[in-house]
Amino acid sequence: MRYYPRLRDLREDADLTQDQLVKALGMHKTTYTNYEQGKREPPFELIIRLAQFYNVSIDYIAGLTNQIKRL
């Protein structure tokens, strides 16, 4: 299973609580919390949505690059 530490970083940089983010995404808080904590791997479709939401590249979320490539 892959851990995505940047999920929390991006959320905090956007000054969002988990409650605010999950409401915007239309998902359950427990599910998203498990993704942030690395207990569950987020589906690729969610990674795409988050990249669009935060206006960053999927590579940045995955930790493949340190450069935030704005879309």
Question: What's the pLDDT at 49?
Answer: 97
C-alpha pair distances (Å), 40 with each of 27, 31, 47, 70? 14, 8, 13, 26
* CATH entry, 6-62, from 1.10.357.140, 1.20.950.20, 1.10.260.40, 3.10.129.10: 1.10.260.40
- Domain boundaries in the chain? 6-62
Q: What is the sign of the dihedral through the CA atoms of 10, 16, 20 and 24?
A: negative
What are the φ/ψ torsions at residue 4 (nearest 5 degrees)?
A: -115, 80
Question: What's the pLDDT at 67?
Answer: 87
| Distance between first and last Cα of the chain | 27
* 1-58 pLDDT tens trace: 677 889 999 999 999 999 999 999 999 999 999 999 999 999 999 999 999 999 999 9
Q: Is the pLDDT of residue 71 over 70?
A: no
